Every structure is written in structure tokens, then in C-alpha cells.
Amino acid sequence: MFVPLVVVGGLLFGFGLGLSHMARPEVVLDFLQFRDFGLLFVLGVGSVVAGTAFAIGVRFLDRAPLTGRPYARRLKSFDRNVLTGGVIFGVGWGISGICPGAAYASLGVGNYPILLAIGGMFLGAYAQGLWRSRTGDDASAPTASD
Amino acid sequence: MEPLVTFTDLFPNGVWRYAVGGALIGLGTAVIYLGTAIPAGASTFLESTLSYVSTVPRFNRAKYVASRDWRVAFTLSIVAGAAIYALAFGDFGWTTRVSWWRLLGGGLLVGVGTRVGKGCTSGHGICGVGSVAPTSLVNVLTFLGVAILTAQLMQAAGVTP
């Protein structure tokens, strides 16, 4: 039941990314360049709906039926990396108009040039992982959330 | 007297597709969370998938190896969900006109940034903001501000599309 539920969630998630036009880099860039503020509704409504589920889980439910895990908020520790990463991510998002989830969805609408962006993301993640392994700067402890 | 800024100026394409799309993104996250207690983000897929082919210790931490199979299923479902939307709404086959170097270079920075910063638009943006998590709020405000600045500079430099 675990994977089928993940699939149902992923289908809804991908359908939503397609419908909201997050899968179109042009629409994201229009938002960042103040031509269309619609994306505020995507992030706003999306986090309110998800936030409702988080609140219900944490307040009223005990353990998840499919994993036995306790419900918890998604909390990550704060350090300088959160800011550094946010800046690098922001430059990349501002240049290309793509982010991970939206890039996968973009492939689904048949936008094959997005493979360049997906390839770039894997290269970036690989370079970062290699660098962290080399420098031993891998202080962040495994988190319970994911 | 004309208002300074009209609704149409701010939302030339209306808001329904953004609001309903956002609700479905949130619903997908909610379904997975309520069933499994996992706040599913989209960027961890990068590291967990690299663990199949790389021996770099960073990618072979227990949490990535343990979650890599369902993350592949999650990502393929995102692709399929978007394909279902595109086919149902006659939108299939749309391709971007954004230049190749922007896609590749931007993707590269997004790949580095999301791993250094511990999350992306769905992990920090949807799950973290939904959790009212201070770390996520700081990360989102940072990348949103920097992205706006970057995109505005690109526009000012005349880079289109």
C-alpha cells in the first residue's frame, strides 16, 4: 500500500504542477519579473492545504498507518548553509525559471528541452556531494523527516 | 478615477489555474503525509537516485538508500500526473523557448543550491512553510528574493527568452 499511495500523491502533485503552469519556465520568469503574480497563489494555496494535513497529523493523529512513523512537522536545523543554499538556488531559479518538482512535471507535458535542466540539477547535486565528501564538511545529521 | 493597479495588471491570466493547481500540489503532499508521515519534497530525489550509481559516501547515507525506490516512484508519478494534465487539457507537446544555457546553467545552480540549503520549492516551500518552520521560511524568503533580483537583472540585460 505504501508505494501505491506515493503514486497517487505524485500524480496529484504532478497534475497540479502542470495545471498551475509551474512546469513552464516562462510563467515562473513572468512571476519573478513582476508580469504575473499568479504563482503566489500556487505557493500560498499549496502550503495552506499541505499545512492543514500537517496540523491534523501532529495534533490529532498518532502514527501513520502505512509506515508506523509518528507525525511530525518538517523541521530542519538552521545554519549558514540554509542561507548559502538559498542564495545559490535563487540565482539558478532566476536564471532558468525551473526547480526540481516543476522540472519533472515539465518533462510530463512533453517539454523535452527541460532534460538539460534536469541534467544540470543532477550534475550540480553530484558536484556538491563530491565536494562535501572530500572536505568532510558533512555535519548535518540525518533528519527524521526524510 | 482609475485605480493605480488593477486586478488584471497583477493577474493577467486570472488566478483559478494557479489556485487550483496549488491546491492539488498541496493535496498530493497531504495524501502522502497522512498515509506515511513523510513530508515529501522533490529535490532529495537527486541525491537518492545518485546512490544507485555513485560510491560517494554523501549519496549512500541510510536515509537516501532506504528511500530511493519510492522516490523514483514518486518522481515518475509527477511526470505521469503532468502528462495526464497535458493530455486532458490539450497542452501536450508544449516546449520552452528559454535558451539552452539558461536551462543547463540554472539547473546546475539549482542542483547545488537545493542540496546545500536542505530543500527546494516543494520541501521548504510547501512542506516547510506548511509546517511554519523557521528554517524553511528563511530559506524561501532568501531564494525568492535572490531569484527576483536575478530575473530582473537578466531582463534588464535584455536576455530573452
pLDDT in tens, A33-71: 999 999 999 999 999 999 999 999 999 999 999 999 999
Rounded-to-integer distance, Cα B71 and Cα B73, Å = 5
- Residue A30 is which amino acid? D
Per-residue pLDDT, A111: 98
Contacts with B73 from chain A: Cβ below 8 Å: 3, 6-7, 10
Higher pLDDT: B4 or A145? It is B4
Give the chain A residue whose CA is nearest to the CA of B50: A126
**Closest CA–CA distance from residue A79 to any residue of chain B (Å):** 8
**Cell, residue A74:** 518538517
Contacts of B84 in chain A (CB under 8 A): 11, 14-15, 18
**Which residues, other chains included, contact A69 with Cβ-Cβ below 8 Å and sequence gap of 6+?**
A63, B36, B37, B38
Spans in chain B with pLDDT lower than 50: none
Strands (E), B79-151: none
Tell me the per-residue pLDDT of B73-105, one tens digit each, with 9 for 90 and over.
Answer: 999 999 999 999 999 999 999 999 999 999 999
Are B103 and A118 a contacting pair, CB within 8 Å? no
**By the CB < 8 Å criterion, does B65 face chain A?**
no
Q: Tell me if chain A has a CB within 8 Å of the CB of B87.
A: no
Copy the grid coordinates of residue A146: 526524510
The C-alpha of B133 sits at a distance from chain A's nearest C-alpha, in angstroms, of 6
Comparing C-alpha atoms, which of A132, A44, A113, A3 is closest to residue B71?
Answer: A3
The complex's ipTM?
0.96
Query: Contact, B74 vs B57, CB < 8 A?
Result: no
Interface probe with B: pick from A32, A42, A130, most Cβ of B within 10 Å: A42
The rounded mean pLDDT for chain A is 93
At residue A137 the predicted structure's pLDDT band, cuts being 50, 70 and 90, is low
A142: pLDDT confidence band, cut at 50, 70 and 90? very low
| Rounded CA separation B57/B118 (Å) | 17
Question: In the 8-state DSSP scheme, what is residue A37?
Answer: T
Q: Does residue A141 or residue B68 have the better pLDDT?
A: B68
A23: chain B residues, CB-CB within 8 Å = 82
Cα separation of B52 and A18, whole Å?
28
H or E segment to which residue B67 belongs: helix B62-88
Q: Cβ–Cβ of B25/A110 closer than 8 Å? A: no
- Is the distance from CB of A108 to CB of A18 less than 8 angstroms? yes
For residue A146, is pLDDT > 60?
Answer: no
pLDDT band at A144 (very low <50, low <70, confident <90, very high): very low
**Grid coordinates of B23:** 491546491
Predicted pLDDT at A16? 98
Quote the CA–CA distance of B125 and A123 in Å, as a whole number. Answer: 23
